[in-house]
Amino acid sequence: MADLVLPAFEMDCRDWMVVSPDEAGLPDEAEGAPLLAVLSTMVVEEDIREATGALTVGIIEDEDDLDTRAVAPGSVAHQLLDVDPEPGTRRYVMPAPGTQRLALLAEFVVEADCEDELDHRVERLMASFRWQEDVA
C-alpha cells in the first residue's frame, strides 16, 4: 500500500510566493487547523492588487454534504460554494485519495478591481493540484 506524501502544485514562481505562517506573521493554526503555508500573488498595474491564500489540513465529515464545483474537468480541487460567501473570498477543498477523511483546504482573499487576472491565477493554481503517492 502506498503512503500519501506531499501534495504538488504546478506553481509559476513568477506569479506566486510561498512563505511559512511564521514568515507571514500568522499563527501556526487557523480555527484549530494547522496552517501549512501562505501563498501570495500580485498584479502590478496603476496600483498593486493581491490575492493571498492559506493552506490548512482538515477532516471531511461527509463529502456528500459539500456544495462544490470542480475547478477543471478531472481536477482534484473543488471550489466550495457557500450560500453567503464573504466578498473576495474563494475556498477550495482537495480530499485525500482513498478512504482517508483528510483534505487540504485553501482559502484565498482576492482584492477587488483586478479580480479577472487574480481569479485566473488562483483557478490555474488549484487546477494544477495533484496528490503524490509514495512509490517506494
* Each residue's pLDDT tens digit, 73-129: 989 999 998 766 788 889 999 988 877 788 889 999 887 766 688 888 899 889 988
pLDDT (average), residues 36-45:
83
Q: Which residues in 1-136 belong to E strands, given as ranges?
A: 4-8, 17-19, 29-30, 33-44, 48-59, 68-70, 78-80, 89-95, 102-110, 130-133
Residue 114: the pLDDT is 62
Residue 49: the pLDDT is 83
Reported pTM? 0.81
Q: For 13-20, which contacts have Cβ atoms below 8 Å and span 24 or more sequence positions?
A: 15/41, 15/121, 16/40, 16/41, 16/121, 16/125, 17/41
Q: Quote the DSSP letter at residue 116.
A: H
List phi, psi (to 5°) of 5.
Answer: -120, -170
- Phi-psi region for residue 126, left (φ > 0), alpha (ψ -120 to 50) or beta? alpha
How many angstroms separate the CA atoms of 83 and 77, rounded?
19
Asked whether residue 1 carries a pLDDT value surpassing 60, the answer given is no
* Each residue's pLDDT tens digit, 49-81: 888 888 888 888 876 678 889 999 989 999 998
Q: Quote the DSSP letter at residue 45.
A: S
